[in-house]
Amino acid sequence: MKHNLLHLTLIFLLLFISGLAQAANLPVPKPPAIGARAFLLEDFNSGQTLAAKNADQRIEPASITKLMTAYVVFKELRSGNITLQDMVTVSEKAWRTPGSRMFIEVGKQVSVEDLLLGMIVQSGNDATVALAEFVAGSEDSFAGLMNRYAQDLGMSETNFVNSTGLPDPEHYTSARDISTLTRLIIREYPEYYGWYSEREFTFNNITQENRNKLLWRDDSVDGVKTGHTDSAGYCLVTSAKREGMRLISVVLGTDSKSARADTSQALLNYGFRFFETHLLYDADTELTTTRIWKGAVETIPVGLSRPLHVTIPRGQYEQLDASMTIENRIIAPVSHGQVLGTVSVRLGDSDVSETPLVALQDVGEGSIWQRVIDEALLYFE
């Protein structure tokens, strides 16, 4: 009896473990149905798209525009052209700008830091125009800066006419371009990104709450920006981090404040539930060495110029397969960062990632004698 009970218990455990293994490898379901004109869900580190609809379609961004306004101002701060303590005199144009407001007063002086908080937390159009005029002299000139940076960042479906996102037929962007910009702000300007999680800001004795309601609903959310006009609908860019995995969702053109929050939450939950991100290789870490001909040394270390992250369905990490392809004949001189091959990552029959394999050091030409010997050896290769 005891033997039979033990036997049945073992069978049950095996079936249970097998069930867990099968559950871990279940196909990823379709993304949730999202009532938006366009949306995109991407992993921050790998850049992999997890869900999308019309992600490259040109669409009106409303106040999501202010992400690029902030990016330009952050670059000016980093370069030392302006400081957070600089005082900005409010113009009549800035004061009269319609839409959401920080309630600055014409002719008064406001610090760059307060204007940034008024733009980021309160979405103040008046603060945004004041910043644009301070940085570039006029809002038109500032829009030129915005477009130059958009072009540099590869935001091919973007054109800005103003700094605020007020409607204009020639003012547009795409969900993918917005995600690209958001990723750069988070990565390059962590000292300022924290402002996007501020729930309220008080200026001139007027306290306004951040319009991103997910900051109250989900502790993993730490940004980023809302937007709304009658023509653009309700928009929301969100970033959240759970257990080291960060996702960015872009939802454009929903029909209400609650809809943009609910759909963004649904996308984030979907991504965190069904996917996981892994760091496979760090930047500037030697992965292997390879022969270099006619050089001052015979071998050269190779690796990656940036970390390699991959995002895959949960429970499938053990099925990843990575391989390296290196050029057959590498001839000196070689410069640090020069592409010498590729690292390919596959999951089953699917390509997950292909990343350039680069030289991790400079190698100059060898002596005349070394070059002659290697030339002879190459002849027989």
pLDDT in tens, 110-154: 999 999 999 999 999 999 999 999 999 999 999 999 999 999 999
Q: How far is 57 from 174, CA to CA, in rounded Å? A: 6
pLDDT of 26: 58
Indicate which residues carry an active-site annotation.
63, 66, 123
Helix (H, G, I), strand (E, B) or coil at 318: helix
pLDDT < 70 stretches in the chain: 1-26
pLDDT of 299: 94
Helix (H, G, I), strand (E, B) or coil at 168: coil
In this structure, the dihedral spanned by the alpha carbons of residues 377, 379, 380 and 381, taken in order and rounded to 10 degrees, is 80
Cis peptide before 333 (omega within 30 of 0): yes
- Structural contact between residues 272 and 301, judged by C-beta atoms closer than 8 angstroms: no
What domains can be seen in the chain, in order of their start residue? 38-274 (3.40.710.10), 282-379 (2.60.410.10)
pLDDT of 3: 38
pLDDT of 155: 97
pLDDT of 11: 33
Segment 63-115, tens digit of pLDDT: 999 999 999 999 999 999 999 999 999 999 999 999 999 999 999 999 999 99
**Element (H or E) spanning 279, and its range?**
strand 275-281
- Structural contact between residues 84 and 62, judged by C-beta atoms closer than 8 angstroms: no
Per-chain mean pLDDT for the chain: 91
Residue written as token pair 């257990």 = 243
Phi, psi for 54 (deg, rounded to 5): 50, 40
pLDDT of 25: 59
- Structural contact between residues 237 and 64, judged by C-beta atoms closer than 8 angstroms: yes
Phi, psi for 33 (deg, rounded to 5): -70, 120
Segment 212-231, tens digit of pLDDT: 999 999 999 999 999 999 99
Residue written as token pair 């960042």 = 153
pLDDT of 380: 75
